[in-house]
Amino acid sequence: MVDTFKDGEVLGVTIYEFNHYILNMSKAVQEWLIENALEQYRDRKITIGKAADMVGIPIREMIATAAKTGIPFQYNIDDLQEDFRAAEKL
């Protein structure tokens, strides 16, 4: 078995560098999840509530993110009913 932890290093990099790398990967994954969810929302495949759930962020934050990227708020009675059904399952 190879010792991967040695003198404050993990796999040849410092713990700080390793943590920084993981944090950047996490941000990249989060950004991809947001982009993917917003694309589906823009194409009216999912509601804004479902998009927020997919990403794991509050609906208010998803609405704000959509607005920042120029995606107009799209919400109708069918979307509201779908969100109510989803909320009942929680």
Q: Band the pLDDT of 2: cuts 50, 70, 90.
A: very low
Q: DSSP of 33-49, one letter per residue?
A: HHHHHHHHHHTTSS-HH
pTM strictly above 0.85: no
Backbone phi and psi for residue 7, each to the nearest 5 degrees, phi listed first: 50, 45
Question: Helices 48-55 and 77-88 sit at what angle, rounded to 10 degrees?
Answer: 40
* CA–CA distance, 41 with 51 (Å, rounded to integer): 7
The full set of domain ranges for the chain reads 5-88
pLDDT at 18 over 50: yes
Q: Which residues contact 18 (CB under 8 A, 6 or more apart)?
A: 10, 11
